[in-house]
Amino acid sequence: MQISPPFGYEEVVPLYRNQKVRLPEPAEVPKFALSANAIPISYTEFSLALRDYPVVFVTTDEGRTFSAVAVLGMTAGENLFVRNGKWVDGVYIPAYARRYPFCMAKVKLDTVEQQDRLICVEKSYLDENGVEMFDAQGQGNERWREIERLIGEYEADLERSREMCGILLDYSLLEPFSMQATVNQGAPMQLTGMHRVDEKRLVHLNSSQIKNLLQKGVMARIYAHLLSLDSFGRLLERKAALSA
């Protein structure tokens, strides 16, 4: 059995009922997010994330598929929303970070990818002194039920995100863009590899396409995404304050 860890995870293993897990402290930032300038955002998070982060679209396969991410920093390896290993007070913590160290991982058996995903945990978080997730009868306790619900709901939400990004791609609504800025007379910074919805192309959609965007809730996410781009200004202000 081969397990493919999601972005940011190092080595994940199946979670068994007799294992204990070290759970992160409240607002603790996962190791990978300490130096990540972007983190995945799911379908229902757009309206929450736009309050703090620019939400953009990225591709890792040369434009065949896209996903939504929240931008955390202006340069590679920079998360401007971390203080002393924790998320700063008052910002929305993306579900991708809140579910850590658990995840739903892709599994291959004899090189064949399985349709169902497996609940896994970061191996380094397995700890005999950690928290029990199941009782003596192998039934999940209240803490585990909360975690399992988050994992399940997030995975379903990611499917809606994938469908949404597929529609944006099919309708040719995404365009590449970059951000350039200079903070406190320092060296110029440039963020590349991002895509946004081209508002002008929305005008040229036919009535059937517009109806589909409205019925599936994609139109609302489009405008949440476009509004969130104003957060680049606040990101620069945060960067300038830290630089000063």
List the chain pLDDT tens, one digit each, 244 residues. Answer: 788 889 999 999 999 999 999 999 989 999 999 999 999 999 999 999 999 999 999 999 999 999 999 999 988 889 999 999 999 999 999 999 999 999 998 887 777 777 777 899 999 999 999 999 998 888 999 999 999 999 999 999 999 999 999 999 999 999 999 887 776 666 677 788 999 999 999 999 999 999 999 999 999 999 999 999 999 999 988 888 877 6
Residue 215 to residue 75: CA distance in whole angstroms? 37
Q: Are 9 and 122 contacting, i.e. CB atoms less than 8 angstroms apart?
A: yes
Q: Are 93 and 27 contacting, i.e. CB atoms less than 8 angstroms apart?
A: yes
User: Among residues 92, 121, 87, which one has the least CA distance to residue 104?
Assistant: 121
Name the residue type at position 207.
S
Q: Give ∠ CA 94-96-98 in degrees, rounded to 5.
A: 70
Q: Are 15 and 119 contacting, i.e. CB atoms less than 8 angstroms apart?
A: yes
